[in-house]
Chain A
Amino acid sequence: MHTFAYARPATLAEAVALLEEHGPAARVLAGGTDMIIRLRDGTLRPELVIDLKRIPELRPAIRVEGDRLVIGATTVMTDIAASELVRRDFEALAEAAAVVGSVQIRNRATLGGNLCNASPAADTAPSLLVYGADVVAIGPGGTRRLPLDAFFVRSGVTTLAPGELVTAIELPLPTLRRGSVHVRRTRRRGHDLASVTMAVAVDQAGTTRLAYGSVGPRPVVRVDATGVLADAAAPADARTAIFEEMFAGASPSPRSMRASPEYRLAMLRVLGRRALATAIQRLAQGERRP
């Protein structure tokens, strides 16, 4: 690994000032499970690494503020998967966090890192998209919130401006009963990246939100407000038509080593039907009773 200097700011203001001072020569470090690989292979060559893990403002890691659940950017997957607050109202996110990498990776990998890395296969992205999450970013101009859907551009690229860093992910607490689930397809059981990663949420009012990743340059979210998908008794072809519209956003790379485009597109449809059935079932069982 090439040499670099290391800074451990104690406040967000200090972190933002360091980023502003050093510009593109600085990189922000959260869990490091992707970044340290890139520091070692030389695809990242910062002069300064800014470690965000000891900033008290980013804690408590998971908290309720008003009508939102706030997850600090440096919260690790292990803690998200185990959080009662997450499991109660955002079951698909807890499920997604529980399948990222291995135990060792989940103990280090952070939610902010998973999103900022902007891998199309990021497992937490689909669930956060169906829950309507916002990204909270801080920069020299102050704090701003943007919908997660407006955050992803393509693999490794986000709409975060130079000098900005992500401090939290905010999820609106549900006002309606809801059933949700995360599912994915991998080549092998255990530690693997997803060939398709997906989340579905169905609410009491009949709205279905479906998001998928690893089948194009960025994760995609689609909403069915007609009530057809949420209706277990709807005719099969009516559902298929809506699914096909939703999956039109998929454009898997022919060069990926994990799975062929044909396989991914076929699995998208299989997982879509399975996930919808589970979400409907969970709604019926009362995942959430406000």
Chain B
Amino acid sequence: MITTVPIRMTVNGRARVLEVPAHHTLLDVLRDELQLTGTKECCLVGECGACTVSLDGRIVDSCLVLAVEADGAEVATVEGLTVDGRLSPLQEAFLEKGAVQCGFCIPGQVMAAHDLLGRNPHPTLAEVQEGLAGNLCRCACYQQITDAVMATAEEAGR
């Protein structure tokens, strides 16, 4: 039986053509084939959100998506958030508010926050907490993370 599949996807705006084993996840392929190691591997059960990426405009846990399921899709990872090599205002706010301690969960947190602000530019604190409920931080920087997201929304509203 054929267990390797040819796929095409656009990753951070760049077209990619790959041969992927059917049992490899999108997370595996992003990290191991495309060397996009900003996306982290952590719980592998869809609880922690460290592997969050955007798939056709919606965030997903890339540990729970087979790479072959992303055939034809637009994928965006944390590496795609920078503009001309500069951090986005959201990323700057994470630094400014001290939201980063060990940093392992941050790519996923930033991807989830970016998605939330795209859908809801002026969220309430409760909406930020719900929007980031799929992202765990073992350093427990939740206060600083939600501060960073709220500050970004306020700044954009000025």
Report A's interface with B, CB cutoff 8 A. Answer: 1-6, 8, 29, 32-33, 36-37, 39-40, 47-49, 51, 53, 78, 101-105, 107-108, 189-191
Contact = CB atoms under 8 A, between A and B. Distances in A.
B20 to A, nearest CB: 10
Contacts of B3: 3-6
Contacts of B22: 3-6, 49
The 7 closest A-B pairs by CB, nearest first: A102-B134, A190-B133, A6-B22, A5-B1, A107-B58, A1-B23, A104-B134
A3 B23 contact: yes
B78 interface: no
Contacts of B5: 6
A32 B23 contact: no
A32 B64 contact: yes
A195 B130 CA distance: 19
A78 B119 CA distance: 12
Nearest to A188: B133
Interface of B: 1-3, 5, 21-25, 44-47, 49, 52, 55, 58-61, 63-66, 68-69, 112, 115-116, 129-131, 133-135
A36 B49 contact: no
Contacts, number: 94
Contact of A102 (B1, B44, B49, B58): B49
B129 A108 contact: no
A51 B22 CA distance: 11
A105 B61 contact: yes
B69 A102 contact: no
Majority DSSP secondary structure for residues of B touching A: mixed
A78 B134 CA distance: 14
A105 B131 CA distance: 12
B111 to A, nearest CB: 9
A36 B133 CA distance: 21
Contact of A103 (B44, B47, B134): B134
B46 A103 contact: no
B55 to A, nearest CB: 8
A32 B65 contact: yes
Nearest to B44: A40
30 contacts: A2-B23, A3-B23, A4-B23, A5-B2, A6-B22, A32-B65, A33-B46, A36-B66, A37-B45, A37-B46, A39-B23, A40-B44, A102-B49, A102-B134, A102-B135, A103-B112, A103-B116, A103-B131, A103-B133, A103-B134, A104-B46, A104-B59, A104-B60, A104-B61, A105-B46, A108-B60, A108-B61, A189-B129, A191-B47, A191-B134
